[in-house]
Amino acid sequence: MANAIQDFDALVIGAGFSGMYMLKSLRDKLGLKVRVYEAGDTVGGTWYWNRYPGARCDSDSYIYCFTFDKQLLQEWEWSERYPEQPEILRYLEHVAARHDLKRDIQFGTRVTGGEYDEKTNLWTVQTDKGDNVTARYVIAAVGTLSDTNLPQFKGLEEFKGKRYHTSKFPHTGVDFTGKRVAVVGTGATAVQAIPEIAQQAKHLTVFQRTANYCVPARNGKVDPDLVKTRKADYDGVVKRVRESFFGQEHYFIPKSVLEVSAEEREREFERMWDAGGFAYWLANYQDMFFDQKANDVCADFIRRKIRATVKDPKVAEKLMPKGHAYGCKRQPLDTNYYETYNKPNVLLVDAATDGGIEEITEKGIRAGGKEYEVDIIVFATGFDAMTGPLTKLNLKGRGGRTLDKEWSEGPRSYLGVSVAGFPNLFTITGPQSPSVLSNMPVSIEQHVDWITDCIDNMRKNGQTAIEATPEAQEQWVKHVNEVVGATLMVKANSWYMGANIPGKPRTFLPYLGPEGVGGYRKKCDEIAAKGYEGFNLG
Ligand code: NAP
């Protein structure tokens, strides 16, 4: 029904990397009337909220950026290999100003619900600021790691000191000088924060539930000649990362680690270790994710590095990853993480050895029957990843169905960008797309471009509704699970598997290959070329 009241052509939820580019694309390419709702006070998403000490990007800056603005690729100078959170936020502010994005973004506004009207093919969306607006399309650009997980420890409210979650860190910063601090968690966030906090705090106690395999980031200034070379070949860089497996310039060694000599693999391991970053994780031998024996060889190299770095053998033993294969939880990148445990003011409390957290007390944390008194607790306990930010939107699709119920046994989507029963809703880097397994801006730009083309196509054909068919969705879900089922990834208690959230169904949340983001991009383009195969359009 064309003449129902329609406030906007499209509503975009979130103004991080994805929401910003979605707005730019729909407004400036297609000329649509777009409104973006953003809970924060400015653009940035992840980089607006996550302001903990040491927060920086784990992907190399030359590829952790927008590529749609070629001139900006040439002009922007990143200060380091991995820029810190304030610099990324400055970059995103610059993009917002350069493309005049803010005039269509309503800040300080959280979407609280919405419903799809099957008669008009329009969404009505409500916000916590009283907005109640209609639009043809809703695009969730809510991020994948934006729904904070604060475990409900017994006694949490009793603590008399200050407590913070890394994902909602005060914008004014926190002064740890002279304080006794606890950090709960040892994931990628904690691994960045712990060395920084340890430098300031009088005493730091780290509560570890699962030891991780960390590899050195090797941050620093990038050789100006390398910067020049990359800039001269940005088209090539963009093409390569788009066609790659992980949206990075990392490629597996096309051999089994078990078939090469001990000398050869040691040389290769050292080379990757020295390169730093994701090299050891994403450019390792090709059977590392598939074969436990192959994985053990790669894991053993990291264990040896930990033993060589941590002086106290008892502490080193606590830091040995156990019970999960290397690379099957997200690889943290570290700068002086293991070295930090050599400091006299740092104590590691390991759940397996010392006892897990029993309760939060007025004065600190009780674990293994012992109370650790602290002034500040920093929870680095992660997120309800991928599905959490979407289900919390309270969107009602066809017949009033909700994502919460539809996904009660794990997410079901078509291509990770669309859900059967939720017409005209698109999910940027949603569950069952490569998303968090890739360098995010690459996957974000791919989804935004695909959604833009799809909407453009619909408008040219006079269509007002698009919806994934249940059959196409079932096939996609089956495919996603089959591919990952052949790997070791499904065995780890990772947030990729939803294992960090009590009661969350155990399902692999993103989409792993088989040809990575390059193959996935091709698949999405083929589906579009076949008239959006697997979708009903009308
Ligand atoms: P995370 O990887 O989920 O780590 C959370 C930590 O808290 C884990 O050590 C976890 O232990 C622990 N934990 C959770 N619940 C607990 C409980 N009830 N009791 C005790 N310990 C508990 O979260 P994160 O470190 O915030 O990282 C999340 C993701 O954000 C990363 O994997 C990465 O994708 C992204 N990230 C990106 C960057 C970057 O690129 N700049 C930086 C940081 C994070 P278990 O391991 O036992 O669950």
Query: 133 Cβ partners below 8 Å, 6+ apart?
Result: 7, 8, 11, 35, 124, 125
Q: Helix 516-529 to helix 234-243 angle, to the nearest 10 degrees?
A: 80
CA–CA separation, 32 and 390 (whole Å):
24
Tokens 């589906």 sit on residue:
527
Is the shortest distance between the CB of 357 and ligand 1 below 6 Å? yes
CA–CA separation, 188 and 77 (whole Å):
26
pLDDT value, residue 2:
45
187 alpha carbon to ligand 1 midpoint, in Å?
Answer: 4
418 alpha carbon to ligand 1 midpoint, in Å?
Answer: 27
Specify the pTM. Answer: 0.97
194 alpha carbon to ligand 1 midpoint, in Å?
Answer: 13
Query: 222, 217, 371, 325: which is closest to 279 by C-alpha?
Result: 217
347 alpha carbon to ligand 1 midpoint, in Å?
Answer: 19
163 alpha carbon to ligand 1 midpoint, in Å?
Answer: 17
pLDDT value, residue 295:
98
Is the preceding peptide bond at 514 cis, omega within 30 degrees of 0?
yes
DSSP code per residue over 390-439:
HHTT-EE-GGG-BHHHHTTTS---BTTTB-TT-TTEEETT-TTSSGGGS-
Give the tokens for residue 342. 């050599």
Tokens 């453009």 sit on residue:
456
Tokens 């600190």 sit on residue:
364
User: H or E element: which one contains 117?
Assistant: strand 111-117
pLDDT tens for 237-250 read: 999 999 999 999 99
Q: Which residue, judged by its Cα, is nearest atom 35 of ligand 1?
A: 188
Is the shortest distance between the CB of 110 and ligand 1 below 6 Å? no
> Which amino acid belongs to residue 302?
I
Atom of ligand 1 nearest to the CA of 188: 25
Q: Which residue, judged by its Cα, is nearest atom 5 of ligand 1?
A: 381
User: H or E element: which one contains 272?
Assistant: helix 262-275
Rg (CA), the chain: 23
CA–CA separation, 487 and 490 (whole Å):
7
Is the shortest distance between the CB of 250 and ligand 1 below 6 Å? no
Give the tokens for residue 365. 């944390």
pLDDT tens for 139-152 read: 999 999 999 999 99
Query: 443, 410, 396, 462: which is closest to 138 by C-alpha?
Result: 396
65 alpha carbon to ligand 1 midpoint, in Å?
Answer: 23
Q: Which residue, judged by its Cα, is nearest atom 46 of ligand 1?
A: 210
172 alpha carbon to ligand 1 midpoint, in Å?
Answer: 23
184 alpha carbon to ligand 1 midpoint, in Å?
Answer: 10
Is the shortest distance between the CB of 151 and ligand 1 below 6 Å? yes
Q: Are 97 and 44 in contact (CB under 8 A)?
A: no
Q: Helix 440-460 to helix 516-529 angle, to the nearest 10 degrees?
A: 0
Is the shortest distance between the CB of 125 and ligand 1 below 6 Å? no
Q: Are 480 and 511 in contact (CB under 8 A)?
A: yes
380 alpha carbon to ligand 1 midpoint, in Å?
Answer: 6
Is the shortest distance between the CB of 206 and ligand 1 below 6 Å? no
500 alpha carbon to ligand 1 midpoint, in Å?
Answer: 8
Is the shortest distance between the CB of 57 and ligand 1 below 6 Å? yes
Query: 209, 210, 207: which is closest to 372 by C-alpha?
Result: 207
CA–CA separation, 207 and 531 (whole Å):
53
Total count of residues recorded for the chain: 538
Is the shortest distance between the CB of 182 and ligand 1 below 6 Å? no
Tokens 């059959």 sit on residue:
471
CA–CA separation, 406 and 429 (whole Å):
18
Is the shortest distance between the CB of 360 and ligand 1 below 6 Å? no
Digit-by-digit pLDDT tens for the chain (538 residues) are: 444 678 999 999 999 999 999 999 999 999 999 999 999 999 999 999 999 999 999 999 999 999 999 999 999 999 999 999 999 999 999 999 999 999 999 999 999 999 999 999 999 999 999 999 999 999 999 999 999 999 999 999 999 999 999 999 999 999 999 999 999 999 999 999 999 999 999 999 999 999 999 999 999 999 999 999 999 999 999 999 999 999 999 999 999 999 999 999 999 999 999 999 999 999 999 999 999 999 999 999 999 999 999 999 999 999 999 999 999 999 999 999 999 999 999 999 999 999 999 999 999 999 999 999 999 999 999 999 999 999 999 999 999 999 999 999 999 999 999 999 999 999 999 999 999 999 999 999 999 999 999 999 999 999 999 999 999 999 999 999 999 999 999 999 999 999 999 999 999 999 998 899 999 999 999 999 999 999 999 9
DSSP 3-state of 276: coil
Q: Which residue, judged by its Cα, is nearest atom 16 of ligand 1?
A: 381
pLDDT tens for 264-301 read: 999 999 999 999 999 999 999 999 999 999 999 999 99
Q: Which residue, judged by its Cα, is nearest atom 24 of ligand 1?
A: 382
CA–CA separation, 19 and 140 (whole Å):
8
74 alpha carbon to ligand 1 midpoint, in Å?
Answer: 34
Q: Are 80 and 277 in contact (CB under 8 A)?
A: no
Tokens 């050599």 sit on residue:
342
CA–CA separation, 167 and 436 (whole Å):
17
Helices and strands per DSSP (H, E), number in the chain: 18, 20
CA–CA separation, 448 and 71 (whole Å):
20
Is the shortest distance between the CB of 144 and ligand 1 below 6 Å? no
Q: Which residue, judged by its Cα, is nearest atom 32 of ligand 1?
A: 330
Q: Which residue, judged by its Cα, is nearest atom 17 of ligand 1?
A: 151
Give the tokens for residue 210. 């699962």
Best residue for ligand 1 mutational test, from 64, 209, 319 (most atoms within 8 Å of Cβ) = 209
Phi, then psi, of 53 in degrees rounded to 5: -60, 135
57 alpha carbon to ligand 1 midpoint, in Å?
Answer: 15
Fill in the DSSP letter of residue 491: G
Give the tokens for residue 409. 């046994």
Burial 354-388 (b: 16+ CB within 10 A, else e): beebbebbebbbbbeeeebebbbbbbbbbbbbbbb
pLDDT value, residue 60:
97
379 alpha carbon to ligand 1 midpoint, in Å?
Answer: 10
Best residue for ligand 1 mutational test, from 49, 87, 196, 381 (most atoms within 8 Å of Cβ) = 381
Cβ count near 112 (within 10 Å): 16
Pairing of strands 535-537, 466-468: antiparallel
